[in-house]
Structure 1
Amino acid sequence: MVGRYWYRFVASIVLTTFGALIVFILLYPVLFALLSSLVRGQMIVTDISQVAKAGLSLEHYVKAISDPRFINDTLLSLLVALINIIFALVVITPAAYAFSRFRFPGRDTLLVAYLVMNQVGGGFGVAAVIALYVMLLKLNQLGLPVIGNPVVLAAIYTAGAVPFQTWMVKNYLDALPREIDESAFIDGANWRQIIFDVVLPASKPTMVVIALFAFMGAWGEFIIANFLRVETLAAYVYATATGQTIFWSDFAARTLLFAIPIIAIYVFTQKYIGEAMRYGAAKI
C-alpha cells in the first residue's frame, strides 16, 4: 500500500515536471516576442540584458492600434471570419446530418474521399492553391467580381473546411438519438426545421467548434487572401515582415495583438471543444 502511494507520488512529480518543461518550451519564444514588442526602439530581443539597456515601453502597441490600416484590416478580418462562420454552419450542418441519418448510393465512397482530402497536403496542396488562383483570375477576367471580394474569400475557406468538419459533425450526430428527429417529424416539422431548430441546438458543442475552426481558418490564413488581394489582418502582418526594412518591435506587437482573439476564444470555449472533439474528431 505504501509502495503504491510512493509510486503514484513520484509519477505525479515526474509528469508535472515534464508538463512544466513542455509549457516552458512552448512559451519561451512567446516570451522573447513579448519582450521584443515592449522594448524601446526596433530590435529582436535575444538576451534579457538588451531589455535592461533599452528599457520597456508600450509605444509599439500604441502605434499599432493607432494605425488606420491596422484597424481597417482587423475589421475586414472580422467580417470575413463572420461570413465564413455563417457559410460553414449553413453548408456543413446539413451535409453532416445527411451522412449521419441517411443511406444513399455513393455515401461510403464520398466519406472516404472526404477523409483522403482531409489528409492530403504537401505538394498537392500547393498545386491546388496555384490552380485555384488561375481559376479565380479567369473568372475575374470574365467579369465576375472575384479578386478583392471578401465573400468569395470566405466561401473558399468554407470549401476547404468541409471534409474535416463534416466528418467531425457526422460522428457527433451519430451519438444523438434518432428519436429526437422522429419526434419532430411526427409533430410536423420539415427537414429545415429538424436540422436547424432541433438538431443544431442539441449539438451546441460541435456547433461551437465549427464556428471556432471557421474563425481560426479565416483569421490566420494569408496566402489565399494575398492571391485574392483581400487585405486581412493576417495578410497585413505578413506583409510587414517581408519588406526590405523590417521594424521588428512593431511586427512583434502586431503579431501578439493578432493572436489575442484566438487565445480568448480558446479560453472561453474549451469546455465545448473538449466535448465535441471527444465525440467527433476523436473517432475520425
Structure 2
Amino acid sequence: MASKVMWLVFRVSLTVAGFLVLFALLYPVFFIVLQSFYSKPSLIEDPVKALGMLTIENYVRAVASPEFASAIQMSLLISLLTVLVSVVVITPAAYAFSRFHFKGRDMVLYIYLILSQAGGGFGVVAVIALLMFLLVLSSYGVPAYGWHVLPLIYSAGLVPFQTWLLKSYFDNLPRELDEAAFIDGADWGTIIYRIVLPSSRPAVIIITLFAFMSAWGEFFIANLLRVNTIGAYIYMTAFGERGLQDPSVYAALSLIYAFPIIVIYMVAQRYMGEAYRLGIVKG
C-alpha cells in the first residue's frame, strides 16, 4: 500500500513539474500576445485590468506605418530571391555530391559539415570579415552595399547545411531516373531541374522553407547594411535611437513578423513529415 502511495505521489509530482515547465515555456508567448492587444503602454504596470482593456488598435497602428509597408515589401523581395538563388545553386551541388565521385569530394563534404555546425564567435568573426570584404569591394567602385547583396549573402550561408540535406535525399532516389533520361538524350540541366527536382518535392519544400525563414528572420546584417527589412525595422523600433516607445505596438509587430513562418510550417508540415520519413536528415 505504501509503495502505491509513493508511486502516486511520484506521478503527481512529475505531472506538476511538467505543467510548471510548460507554463515557463509558454508564458512569454501568452504575455506578448496579450501585450499586443493591450491598450496601455505596459502590461506589467497593470496586469489585473488587462482583460478589460483589449483592443486591435496596436495592429492598426503597426500596419498603417509607411515604413512598415516598405519593410514588408523589402523582406518579401529578399526572401523570395534568397529562395530562388538557393534552389538554383544548391540543387546541382547536392546532385553532384550524390551522384559523382571526384577528387576532394569527401573533404569538401566534411568542410560543409563543419561550416554548417559552426556558430557563436566564429559567426561573429565571419560577419566582420564579410563587412570588411564589402568595404574593400566598395572602395573599388563595386556596388557591394545595398539590398541586392543580401540574397547572395543569405544563400551563401545556407549552402553547407542545405547541400547536406538535399544530398541525403538524392542518395535515396533511384539512379534509374537519371540513366533513363540520359539515354533519351536529356542534358544535365534537364535531368536535374525537370526530372530529379520534381521527384524530390518534400526535400525542395524543406530547403525552400529554411531559405525563406533564414532571409525573413535575419536582421543583424540587414541592419548593418542599412537595409529596411521587417526584422531590421522591428529591431530599430525596439532598440533605435528613441528606444522602445510603445511595447504594445512592438508586440503587435513581433507577432505580424512571426505570422508568415507559422503559416509556412502549417502548410509544409505534410512534406516535412515525408522528408523526415525518407531520410532527409540522415546527413
> Could you tell me the TM-score, scaled by structure 2's length?
0.89
Cα 1:62–1:241 shift into 2, 3 Å: same
| Aligned residue number for residue 37 of structure 2 | 38
SS of alignment partner, residue 131 of structure 2 = helix
Residue 212 of structure 1 pairs with residue 209 of structure 2: yes
Instruction: Report the AA paired with residue 273 of structure 2.
Output: G
Contact 1:32 1:46 in 2 (8 A): no
Instruction: Report the AA paired with residue 130 of structure 2.
Output: L
Find the aligned partners of 1:166 and 1:14 in 2 and give their Cα distance: 45
Find the aligned partners of 2:188 and 2:138 in 1 and give their Cα distance: 37
Which contiguous aligned blocks of 4+ residues in structure 1 show a shift greater than 3 angstroms?
Answer: 13-26, 44-48, 277-281
Deviations 1:163-215 (A, max 9, x none): 00000000000000000000111111000000000000000001001110010
Cα 1:188–1:16 shift into 2, 3 Å: farther
Find the aligned partners of 2:18 and 2:199 in 1 and give their Cα distance: 35
Cα 1:38–1:152 shift into 2, 3 Å: same
Find the aligned partners of 2:54 and 2:261 in 1 and give their Cα distance: 26
Instruction: Report the AA paired with residue 120 of structure 2.
Output: G
Contact 2:203 2:280 in 1 (8 A): no
SS of alignment partner, residue 273 of structure 1 = helix
Which structure 2 residues correspond to residues 235-254 of structure 1 after superposition, within 5 A?
235-243=232-240, 244-246=242-244, 247-254=246-253
Find the aligned partners of 2:15 and 2:174 in 1 and give their Cα distance: 40
Contact 1:167 1:280 in 2 (8 A): no
| Aligned residue number for residue 158 of structure 1 | 155
Structure 1, unmatched stretches of 5+, are 1-12
> Could you tell me the TM-score, scaled by structure 1's length?
0.89
| Aligned residue number for residue 7 of structure 2 | none
| Aligned residue number for residue 98 of structure 1 | 96
CA RMSD of aligned residues (A): 2.2
Cα 1:177–1:123 shift into 2, 3 Å: same
Which structure 2 residues correspond to residues 196-207 of structure 1 after superposition, within 5 A?
196-207=193-204
Structure 2, unmatched stretches of 5+, are 1-11
SS of alignment partner, residue 239 of structure 2 = coil
Residue 265 of structure 1 pairs with residue 264 of structure 2: yes
Alignment equivalent of 1:187, drawn from 165, 184, 188: 184
How far is the alpha carbon of 1:134 from its aligned partner? Answer: 1.0
Deviations 1:233-273 (A, max 9, x none): 00000111113431111100100010000000000101111
Cα 1:151–1:205 shift into 2, 3 Å: same
